[in-house]
Amino acid sequence: MVKEGKLSSKDILKMINKKAGRTIAFSGDQENPADIKDWIPTGSRWLDSIICRGQLAGIPVGRVTEIAGLESSGKSYMAGQIAHQAQAKDIKVLYFDSEATMTSEFLVKLGCDMEGDNQILIIQPDDVEQVLETIELCMANDPDSRYLFVLDSLAMTPCRADLEKDFNPQSSMAQKPRVLSLGMQKLLTALSKTQSTFLVLNQLKTNINVNNPMMMLSQPWFTPGGKAIIYAYSLRIWLTGLKGKKTFIEDDNGYRIGSEVKSKLEKSKFGTQGRVCNFKILWAGENVGIMNDESLLTAIKSSNHLTNSGAWFTLQGHDTKFQAATFPKLMQTNEKFAKIVYDIIDEEVIQKFENKTGKAADFYELEEETKEE
Q: What integer pLDDT is reported at residue 243 of this predicted model?
A: 66
Q: What residues contact 371, with CB distance under 8 A and at least 6 apart?
A: none
Task: Report cis status (omega within 30 of 0) of the bond before 72.
Answer: no
- Residue 252 CA: distances (Å) to CA of 249, 255, 256, 257: 10, 8, 10, 10
Q: Which residues pair with 199 in a beta bridge?
A: 65, 150
Q: What percent of the chain has pLDDT over 70?
A: 92
Strands (E) in the chain, as ranges, are: 39-40, 59-60, 64-69, 92-97, 121-123, 147-152, 197-203, 205-206, 221-222, 233-241, 248-250, 256-268, 276-282, 289-291, 306-309, 312-315, 321-322
Nearest partner of 188 among 225, 136, 145, 130, judged by Cα = 136
Query: Lowest-pLDDT range, 1-10, 110-119, 141-150, 352-361?
Result: 1-10
pLDDT in tens, 130-174: 999 999 999 999 999 999 999 999 999 999 998 887 777 767 678
**Left, alpha or beta for 334 (phi > 0: left; psi -120 to 50: alpha)?**
beta
Give the burial class of 161: count Cβ atoms within 10 A of its Cβ; 0-12 exposed, 13-18 middle, 19 or more buried.
Answer: middle
Average pLDDT, the chain: 90
For 57, other C-beta atoms within 10 Å of its C-beta total 24
Q: What integer pLDDT is reported at residue 261 of this predicted model?
A: 92
For 275, other C-beta atoms within 10 Å of its C-beta total 21
Q: What percent of the chain has pLDDT over 90?
A: 65
Nearest partner of 276 among 261, 291, 289, 290, judged by Cα = 261
Query: Lowest-pLDDT range, 81-85, 250-254, 266-270?
Result: 250-254
Question: What is the mean predicted confidence (pLDDT) over 221-246?
Answer: 88
Q: What integer pLDDT is reported at residue 364 of this predicted model?
A: 92
Could you tell me the pTM of the whole model? 0.91
Helices H, strands E: what count in the chain?
Answer: 14, 17
Q: What integer pLDDT is reported at residue 211 of this predicted model?
A: 65
- Residue 355 CA: distances (Å) to CA of 62, 88, 184, 300: 28, 32, 35, 17
Name the packing angle between helices 292-300 and 335-345 (round to 10°): 60
Backbone angles phi, psi at 5, to 5 degrees: 120, -160
pLDDT at position 29 over 80: no
269 or 101: which carries more pLDDT confidence?
Answer: 269
pLDDT at position 2 over 80: no
Question: What is the mean predicted confidence (pLDDT) over 275-299?
Answer: 90
Question: What is the mean predicted confidence (pLDDT) over 241-261?
Answer: 80
Q: What integer pLDDT is reported at residue 180 of this predicted model?
A: 96
- Most confident of the ranges 11-25, 128-142, 246-260, 357-371: 128-142
CA–CA gap between residue 347 and residue 361 (Å, rounded): 17
For 68, other C-beta atoms within 10 Å of its C-beta total 27
Q: Which residues pair with 103 in a beta bridge?
A: none
pLDDT at position 373 over 50: no
Question: What is the mean predicted confidence (pLDDT) over 227-252?
Answer: 86
CA–CA gap between residue 92 and residue 103 (Å, rounded): 18
Angle, CA 38 vertex, CA 32 and CA 40 arms, to 5°? 145
Residue type, 229: I
pLDDT at position 369 over 70: no
Band the pLDDT of 371: cuts 50, 70, 90: very low
Nearest partner of 365 among 75, 50, 52, judged by Cα = 50
Q: What integer pLDDT is reported at residue 365 of this predicted model?
A: 84
Band the pLDDT of 39: cuts 50, 70, 90: very high
DSSP secondary structure letters along 201-227: EEE-EE-TT--SHHHHHH--EE-SS-S
Q: What integer pLDDT is reported at residue 367 of this predicted model?
A: 63
Query: Lowest-pLDDT range, 21-35, 75-89, 277-291, 340-354?
Result: 21-35
Q: Which residues pair with 241 in a beta bridge?
A: 261
